[in-house]
Amino acid sequence: MGLQQRRARATSLTFAALAIATASFAAPADAQTYDPAYPVCLQIYQGGIADYYFECAYTSIPQCQASASGRAAQCVVNPYYGKGKVAPRKKRVRVY
């Protein structure tokens, strides 16, 4: 095996090891936290300033506020509620 072949093989192995290390340290992506079936979500804080999660299971702000009472939480409007639903088309009446 010549010197160039050894260097090429060493470079290939280095890049392969780097690719494997990068893939093994990658963090999983978070799933969507909003449930599009409910218009109101409860944002619950767990400690840190960015440590919170959402419970989207409320049909009104007062219902959500009752659940948030006494907790480190707030009610927010679900930005994904009703997305993807197609509005029904109006039937056109033809006049002859």
Q: Looking at residue 86, what is its pLDDT? A: 59
Confidence bin at 34 (pLDDT 50/70/90):
confident
Q: Looking at residue 23, what is its pLDDT? A: 53
Average pLDDT value for residue range 10-39: 67
Confidence bin at 95 (pLDDT 50/70/90):
confident
SS3 for the chain is CCHHHHHHHHHHHHHHHHHHHHHHHCCCCCCCCCCCCCCEEEEEECCCCCCEEEEEEECCHHHHHHHHCCCCEEEEECCCCCCCCCCCCCCCCCCC
Q: What is the pTM of this model?
A: 0.53
Average pLDDT value for residue range 61-84: 91
Q: Looking at residue 40, what is its pLDDT? A: 95
Average pLDDT value for residue range 50-67: 93
Average pLDDT value for residue range 14-36: 63
